[in-house]
C-alpha cells in the first residue's frame, strides 16, 4: 500500500522519546481509512489500536434501537482503542471513519506490552486518555446545555483541528447522526452560519470561511477541549 504519510504525522507518536518511537513504529502497519469504515463495534473485542495520520474517526454511542450520537472525535492527535491500555479488551462505543485518510494500526497485545514496559509510553497514553475523557465530558455537557448552532460550531472546529485543510466533506444527514439531532435542525443551523458568512455549504462540501467567527460563536466547550489537548503535549 502506497501511503504518503509517515507515523510521525500522528502527534501522539511524535511526542514519544526517540527510543520509544522506534519500538512503536517497528510494530505499526499502514492502514487506509475509507469514509464510513467501522473500525470496531460496541462490545467487540479490540484486536488493533489505530493511530490516524490525516483521517478522522468518530466514537459513537449506539442505543438498542439503532439511534446514535457522537461522543468524541479522534484524528492525527490521538489513537483509537484506549480501552486496551485501561485493562479492557472491548469497547462500549462504535468507531467509524468520519473523514477518509490514512493511518497506522498495531496489535492490541503489542501496544499493551509497550504500555506495561515503558514509563514514557504509559505516561503519554494515560495523559491522552485524560484529554479524551475531557472531550467526551464536554460533548455531553454541550449536547445538554448549548444551542444547536453552538454544537455545530464546536463540531466543525474539532474536525478542523484534525485536518490539514479548511474543507469538510460531510452530508447534513451524517452531521445529524453525529450530533444526535434531526436533519432539519442541522439544515437550519448550517443555514444560519452560511448567512453570517462563516461557512459555505454545497452538496456535502463545507468550506470554513471565517474560523475566528466560528470560535466566537462556539460555546466554551470547544476551548476547554482544545486547552486540554494542548496541555497533553506540554506534560
Same fold flag, 7-118 and 147-218: no
Q: Taking residues 55-60, what's their average pLDDT?
A: 93
CATH entry 3.10.150.10 includes domain 147-218 = no
Give per-residue pLDDT as tens, 38-54: 999 988 999 999 999 99
Which residues 6+ apart lie within 8 Å of 180 measured at CB?
67, 68, 69, 70, 143
- Name the band, by pLDDT with cuts 50, 70 and 90, for residue 4: low
189 in Cβ contact with 149 (< 8 Å) = yes
pTM value is 0.88
Domain boundaries, the chain: 7-118, 147-218
**160, pLDDT greater than 90:** no
Cα separation, 139 vs 59, whole angstroms: 11
CATH architecture under which domain 7-118 falls: Sandwich (2.60)
Amino acid at each position: 500500500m502506497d501511503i504518503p504519510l509517515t507515523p510521525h504525522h500522528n502527534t501522539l507518536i511524535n511526542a514519544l522519546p526517540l527510543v520509544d518511537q522506534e519500538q512503536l513504529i517497528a510494530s505499526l502497519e499502514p492502514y487506509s481509512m475509507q469514509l464510513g469504515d467501522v473500525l470496531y463495534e460496541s462490545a467487540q473485542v479490540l484486536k488493533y489500536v489505530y493511530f490516524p495520520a490525516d483521517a478522522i474517526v468518530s466514537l459513537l454511542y449506539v442505543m438498542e434501537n439503532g439511534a446514535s450520537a457522537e461522543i468524541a472525535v479522534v484524528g492525527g492527535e490521538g489513537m483509537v482503542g484506549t480501552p486496551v491500555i485501561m485493562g479492557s479488551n472491548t469497547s462500549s462505543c462504535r468507531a467509524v471513519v468520519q473523514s477518509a485518510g490514512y493511518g497506522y494500526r498495531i496489535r492490541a497485545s503489542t501496544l499493551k506490552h509497550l504500555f506495561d514496559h515503558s514509563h514514557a509510553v504509559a505516561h503519554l497514553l494515560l495523559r491522552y486518555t485524560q484529554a479524551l475523557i475531557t472531550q467526551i465530558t464536554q460533548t455531553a455537557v454541550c449536547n445538554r446545555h448549548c444551542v444547536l448552532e453552538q454544537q455545530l460550531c464546536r463540531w466543525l472546529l474539532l474536525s478542523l483541528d484534525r485536518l490539514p485543510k479548511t474543507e469538510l466533506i460531510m452530508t447534513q444527514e451524517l452531521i445529524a447522526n453525529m450530533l444526535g439531532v434531526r436533519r432539519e435542525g442541522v439544515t437550519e443551523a448550517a443555514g444560519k452560519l452560511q448567512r453570517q458568512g462563516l461557512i459555505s455549504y454545497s452538496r456535502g462540501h463545507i468550506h470554513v470561511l471565517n474560523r475566528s467567527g466560528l470560535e466566537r460563536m462556539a460555546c466554551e466547550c470547544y476551548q476547554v477541549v482544545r486547552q486540554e489537548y494542548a496541555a497533553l503535549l506540554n506534560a
